[in-house]
Amino acid sequence: MKLMRLPAAFTLVWLASCAQAPEEVPPLERLTTEVPLIARDDILVPGETCVYRVSWGILPVGEVTYTLRNVSTTAGELLELTAVTRPSAFLKVFLRVSGTSRSLIDPATFLPLASLWTTTDGETSQVRSVDFRQEEAEAFSVKYAPDWQVMRHVRGSGLRDPLSAVYLARLLVVPEEGEEIRFVIVEGRNTHLMTVRGAGRTTGRYLGRDVPCWKLAIRTDRIDEEGRFMDEQPWNNFFAWVAETPHRPLLKMSGKTLYARVTLTLSHRGLHASAPGDERRRADAWSRADRP
């Protein structure tokens, strides 16, 4: 498999940006903190599939399926994260974020190398593609539709994409209540600061039983290239429930977005059919260990 790349025209924008003298510290890095992670091999199982029901208040609007697998690429062995959103009704606002998202992740750092997100409004499609250069502390992002495109160059260390941020909730060393972790997310024409705060311990429901959980308060604010907050409401402001079981599944996310109050509830966890035998046996053990 080859790594995803941006359109050739965007390379010219990148070359032009290289001619400018870089700042000593990119402005975005003044906003971020360290992102402490626990060992990935103890949490994520290649072949894992998690399905979430999506609702606006009490109205079911669709589901999201997240899948994780190992892939061989020109850059070596990587993790591939995939999210597929399926609406259950023709709700135009929901369709704006429906579609398929795919990310290639460095397994050593859990930082993205490339991401591709295709959405539709029911009539036309839009594509968001990001080429992450983590060693150079920069990313090249483009959002395009049939009749327009927007291209950007973002500088900063530890840049992430929305899909890897979902999985990151399971891998974080949970901050103490009141403490926070901050990192930058790049997608299409937007840059966001995600702030994760510890919100104590609680319980969540899975398979009809109460499961002990860590509760995280997560807020996403849009920022400009100088690290200034945009004069607008947060794009997301919600809570996440992470199970205190060996593989720390994300049981629920609930809160406000720009469009509606949304809840994602884990309805099924399983193993992708393409997982090799050893991974299947390991996933079976994972399922038994996490069962309430």
Domain ranges of the chain: 30-290
Sign of CA dihedral 116, 123, 234, 22: positive
What is the pLDDT at residue 28?
A: 83
Between 46 and 292, the more confident residue is: 46
pLDDT in the model for residue 180: 93
Tell me what the pLDDT averaged over the chain comes to: 82
Report whether pLDDT(2) > 80.
Answer: no
The two tokens of residue 116 are 């591709």
Nearest-angstrom CA–CA distance, 70 and 275: 9
Predicted pLDDT at 122: 61
Q: DSSP letter at 62?
A: E
Strands 261-271 and 76-87: unpaired
Q: 191: which 2 tokens?
A: 């840059």
The band of 90, judged by pLDDT with boundaries at 50, 70 and 90, is low
pLDDT at 46: 87
Please report the pLDDT score of residue 15 as a whole number.
Answer: 44
Choose the weakest-confidence range: 36-40, 123-127, 199-203, 229-233: 123-127
Task: Measure CA 59 to chain center.
Answer: 24
Task: Supply 260's token pair.
Answer: 């509606």
Backbone angles phi, psi at 124, to 5 degrees: -125, 160
Pick 43 or 202 by higher pLDDT.
202
pLDDT in tens, 4-28: 544 544 444 444 444 444 456 677 8
Predicted local confidence at residue 215, as pLDDT: 94
How far apart, in whole angstroms, are the C-alpha atoms of residue 232 and residue 248? 33
Q: Quick check: 189 and 222 in contact, CB under 8 A?
A: no
Whether the Cβ atoms of residue 246 and residue 42 lie closer than 8 Å to each other: yes
pTM of the model as a whole? 0.82
Is the model's pLDDT at 273 over the cut of 80? no
Residues 6+ apart with CB under 8 A from 223: 28, 31, 184, 191, 192, 193, 229, 230
Give 172-196 pLDDT, tens digit per residue.
Answer: 999 888 789 999 999 888 999 999 9
51: nearest Cα among 81, 98, 28, 85 = 85
Who's near 184: CB < 8 A, 6+ residues apart?
28, 31, 32, 154, 156, 158, 159, 160, 191, 192, 193, 194, 223
The per-residue pLDDT for 10 is 45
